[in-house]
Amino acid sequence: MAKVTDDTLTKVSTEAATELVNSFYPALKNDRNSIASFYLPTPTSILFNGNTVADGAAVQDIFLKQMPEAFYEVQSFDCQIINRAYPTTTAAGLKPASEMGVKDMSILVMTSGHVRYGENRDQPPRGFSETFVLVPNPSSERKRRRDWLIQSQNFRLVV
């Protein structure tokens, strides 16, 4: 297998961050039934303003049952590769290092912007900052499969 270049890894991580921003935030407003599909099915680390949330299904439940309509405006985002050789698994077990490709890495994604809760468009928007750790999706069986899943998330409203 040819050596993966830094440029290729940067391109793949940037595409992953862009895909997250362009699909996750619209889902929080328009497709709340799909929110759990953005998360790793195994236990994750999720914090909303310092409050621990169990997993992606719990995040989805919060947005379906407790959160008013939300309008997110992401003003900036950036990403950084955390681990170039993230230990991914296959049906046969842990993927050998010799078989790792460009999508076998973990990525830190940082976003910031404004959010407005509720239907009243006259309410002032609140600033937010959010970080995600994305990892490769271990499942290849799902329809509309996401290449990257959220392993960790930390959301903060900015005062």
What does the pLDDT read at residue 1? 53
- Within a domain: residue 1? no
Residue with tokens 């793949």: 12
What does the pLDDT read at residue 2? 63
- Within a domain: residue 142? yes
Query: Hey, what amino acid is at 49?
Result: N
Which residues, in sequence order, are bridge partners of residue 46? 53, 153
- Within a domain: residue 89? yes
Using alpha carbons only, give the angle 112, 118, 120 rounded to the nearest 5 degrees. 110
User: In angstroms, rounded to a whole number, what is the distance separating the alpha carbons of residues 57 and 61?
Assistant: 6
Question: pLDDT per position in the chain (159 positions), as tens?
Answer: 567 899 999 999 999 999 999 999 999 999 999 999 999 988 789 999 999 999 999 999 999 999 999 999 999 999 999 999 888 776 667 776 667 778 899 999 999 999 999 887 778 899 999 999 999 998 755 555 799 999 999 999 997
What does the pLDDT read at residue 159? 72
What does the pLDDT read at residue 94? 73
Residue with tokens 């195994």: 42
Radius of gyration in angstroms for the set of CA atoms belonging to the chain, rounded to a whole number: 17
What does the pLDDT read at residue 73? 96
- Within a domain: residue 19? yes
Distances (CA, A) of 117 to 52, 66, 95, 123, 147: 20, 11, 43, 8, 30
What does the pLDDT read at residue 90? 65
What does the pLDDT read at residue 98? 64
- Within a domain: residue 100? yes
What does the pLDDT read at residue 141? 57
- The boundaries of the domain holding residue 36 are 6-157
Distances (CA, A) of 40 to 19, 32, 46, 139, 158: 16, 17, 11, 10, 27
Q: Which residues contact 150 (CB under 8 A, 6 or more apart)?
A: 20, 38, 39, 40, 44, 46, 56, 132, 133, 134
- Within a domain: residue 143? yes
- Find out whether 80 and 105 touch, Cβ atoms under 8 Å: no
- Within a domain: residue 110? yes
The count of structural domains within the chain is 1
- Within a domain: residue 41? yes
- Please report, for the domain that includes residue 39, its CATH number: 3.10.450.50
